A and B are shown apart, each in its own frame.
Chain A
Amino acid sequence: MSEALQVREQHRTTASAWGGGESPFAVPWAKLMMWLFLLSDAFTFAALLTGYAAMRITAGVWPGAGMKAADFFHVTTVVGPMTFILICSSATMAVAVGAARRGDHRTTVRFLALTVLGGLAFLGMQAYEWTGFIREGARLTGFVGELGGKIQPMFPATFFVITGFHGGHVTSGVIYLLVKTIQASRGRASAESVEITGLYWHFVDLVWVFIFTLLYLI
């Protein structure tokens, strides 16, 4: 290869997105890291849900003969609204991110605060839903009371473990959002960091889509 060719090759390499010296995705490193974290977290949830599927398939009837999962939950009155609230909080989060990008601090703070409220409402309703389920006889080890013998013990167990794990994510998300709201109200949250917070929050919503479908509806 002649010298000229070599120089041209070098130019081509440095001009390419993958040529080093810059991000091939044109994203800041913190954002890429959040995406990667979410990817890995998706595998944790996937494994839990796969375990749940294995329990269901192995059990044959679920949660018991002649019963539906939806019978045990307040799908239209509590779980449906929970889903509604989480979607809304995701939307307010998206607006907050958009506003932060435009430098509109007032809107950012306001919508971040709304998102926090949405998260708290979700957690409150989940607590209510858990309480009701426990009152019906659900325990981590299986159902107690008159339904005890008729219901797969892994029905409440998978429910508590998976929604609990998700609830833990929501709780840490609320704390994360709260910190971000305070920072934003003092004008110390960059648009980038608000966007990264948003990614986490949307992911929590995205996981809930599957939990809602697989645990409550199917």
Chain B
Amino acid sequence: MAEHHESVRDGAWYRTYVVTWFWLLVITGLEIATVFLGLPRLAVILLLVTLALMKAALIAAYFMHLRHERLNLIFTIAAPLILIVILFLGVARDALNVFFLRQ
């Protein structure tokens, strides 16, 4: 039932995983380095969020095999995530307002 396309030849089928694993570690290293580089605050935040999103994408795409699923499943999983962004933006914008109205 669980037939999937394999993108790598037999014998080296774990290569994708090793490569993914390697990149995840590299990005983690970069993340930790970013904190200690003393960059401007906004740059640090942007950089860290970008790196985190990249890691998440790697995990979902390769470890969770999302890349090898049908496109409609990918959309089904990814589309609702936009709501998280909306929730975050709404709450964060209002939290800023609360900050300014603090007594």
A and B associate in one complex: yes
On whether the beta carbons of A26 and B70 are closer than 8 Å, the reply is yes
* A25 with B24, Cβ < 8 A, contacts A98-B17, A101-B2, A210-B52 known: no
Chain B interfacial residues counted at CB < 8 A: 50
B residues within 8 A CB of A53?
88, 91-92, 95
Complexed CA–CA distance, A171 and B86 (Å): 31
| Least CB separation from B87: chain A residue | A50
* A58 with B14, Cβ < 8 A, contacts A43-B84, A206-B60 known: no
Binds B, one of A80-88, A117-125, A130-138: A80-88
Question: Which residues, 48 to 74 on A, are CB-close (under 8 Å) to B?
Answer: 50-51, 53-55, 57-60, 68, 70
Question: Which residues, 17 to 67 on A, are CB-close (under 8 Å) to B?
Answer: 17, 24-28, 31-32, 35, 39, 42-43, 46-47, 50-51, 53-55, 57-60
Please list the residues of chain B having a beta carbon within 8 angstroms of any beta carbon in chain A. 1-2, 4, 13-14, 17-18, 20-21, 24-25, 28, 31-32, 34-35, 44-45, 48-49, 51-52, 55-56, 59-60, 62-65, 69-70, 72-73, 76-77, 80-81, 83-84, 87-88, 91-92, 94-96, 98-99, 102
